[in-house]
Structure 1
Amino acid sequence: MNINKTNYIVFNPSSANNTDIRVELNDIQLENKKSARFLGITVDAKLNWNEHCAELVKRINVICFQIRKLKLILPHSFLLQYYYAQVYSRLSYGVVFWGGSVGAQDVFIAQKRIVRSFEQI
């Protein structure tokens, strides 16, 4: 285990912030984080998924711009493959966890923006 990369999160869904917990490993104090990326999903201390959804929206908006530029030079079938590789795979991964959160609405709106750009082809 790399101690320099190891940190911990205290899960506390309420608004109270408990920073009295101290974790040590081999006499080195580990850093307490408010959020961390674990297997591609951003988990935060309150388990509200807002940070993960905001990252998804940011990435989907970049891909939407790319699709709008690529649709001028690529056939529809290639764009569809690009959509499934870049967008659908990200949306379907972990949707069981973050799909019911408040931030999921923004993610699905960003997805609709891409789907609408396909209609204009």
Structure 2
Amino acid sequence: MFKFADDTTVVGLITNNDETAYREEVRVLGVWCQENNLSLNVSKTKEMIVDFRKQEREHPPIHIEGTVVEKVESFKFLGVHITDKLNWSTHTDSVVKTAQQRLFNLRRLKKFGLSPKSLTNFYRCTIESILSGCITAWYGNCSAHNRKALQRVVRTAQRITGGKLPALQDTYTTRCHRKAKKIIKDNNHPSHCLFTPLSSRRRGQYRCIKAGTERLKNSFYLKAIRLLNSHH
């Protein structure tokens, strides 16, 4: 269970088609809300199932307070659009649309005579921050088409500001490396154990995680380990 302010998310890993623990967790959440005088808005509660098996299986609906929870193919979690296929087209389309709207403001500011430095600061604060939000979680598995659409926004902003702007690929690489270093220093981080140092003779090197799919190979943790090892 993940809680952020008034946003609560229950995540369950179902093995051998046994949904007992997952459904019990949902039931306990409903009971806890009732006992603590909290109103759980079932109409805004959604269920998303990620299942990559070749043979699709029908999943019985979840009920909260006698109401069926709606199943969805995607939902927005802390600003990131997650889909049941774990692809990022929905998220990148949303990000590009928002960024393009803010390019209009950047053009207006240039028309009003702002300096290139001020235009760049505006870009970094209002456009790059949108393009790179939670970038370590999703950029690694973006399609080539998605990346081109994102970088097209950067190139447009670069023409407007008249200065060199960092490519999103470079921003992604930098943030992956920085985030990995923070996790390694924090022994209490849930993912600290995924960064396993090799023998003392190979100081600064970390054990690579075996990846059976491209999705895992391109995920943050494997990317971060490759970056850490390449810096030594």
- TM interval, shorter chain, is 0.7 to 0.9
- Cα 1:18–1:119 change in 2 (3 A) is farther
Matches for 1:68-83 after TM superposition, within 5 Å: 68-73=107-112, 74-83=114-123
Matches for 1:100-111 after TM superposition, within 5 Å: 100=140, 101-102=142-143, 103-111=146-154
Question: 153, 161, 173: which is aligned to 1:118?
Answer: 161
Report the residue type matching 1:71 in the other structure. K
With 13-22 and 88-97 compared, the bigger mean Cα shift is at 13-22
- Cα 1:15–1:95 change in 2 (3 A) is farther
Partner of 1:23: 62
Structure 1 residue 48 and structure 2 residue 87: aligned? yes
Q: Which runs of 5+ in 2 are unaligned?
A: 1-39, 164-232
Measured in 1, the distance between the counterparts of 2:147 and 2:44 equals 29
Measured in 2, the distance between the counterparts of 1:85 and 1:65 equals 15
Of the two structures, which has the highest relative contact order with CA contacts closer than 8 Å and spacing of 6 or more?
A: 1
- Cα 1:119–1:16 change in 2 (3 A) is farther
Matches for 1:82-101 after TM superposition, within 5 Å: 82-100=122-140, 101=142
Partner of 2:190: none
Measured in 2, the distance between the counterparts of 1:48 and 1:106 equals 15
Amino-acid identity (%): 23
- Cα 1:15–1:49 change in 2 (3 A) is farther
Question: Cα offset for 1:76?
Answer: 2.8
Measured in 2, the distance between the counterparts of 1:16 and 1:55 equals 31
Question: Cα offset for 1:83?
Answer: 1.0
- Cα 1:28–1:13 change in 2 (3 A) is same
Q: Contact (CA 8 Å) 1:42, 1:51: kept in 2 or not?
A: yes
Q: Contact (CA 8 Å) 1:7, 1:31: kept in 2 or not?
A: yes
Report the residue type matching 2:152 in the other structure. I
TM-score by length of 2: 0.47
After superposing on structure 2, the runs of 4+ consecutive aligned residues of structure 1 that deviate more than 4 Å are 13-19
Q: Contact (CA 8 Å) 1:53, 1:98: kept in 2 or not?
A: no
Question: 52, 57, 63: which is aligned to 2:96?
Answer: 57
Question: Cα offset for 1:50?
Answer: 0.5
Q: Over residues 26-69 of structure 1, what are the superposed CA-to-partner deviations in whole Å (9 max), with x where a residue is unaligned?
A: 11100001111110001111110100000111111111122112
Question: Cα offset for 1:16?
Answer: 6.5
Q: Which runs of 5+ in 1 are unaligned?
A: none
Structure 1 residue 38 and structure 2 residue 81: aligned? no
Report the residue type matching 1:57 in the other structure. V
- Cα 1:61–1:17 change in 2 (3 A) is farther
Q: Contact (CA 8 Å) 2:103, 2:127: kept in 1 or not?
A: no
Measured in 1, the distance between the counterparts of 2:55 and 2:154 equals 35
TM-score by length of 1: 0.85
Report the residue type matching 1:94 in the other structure. C
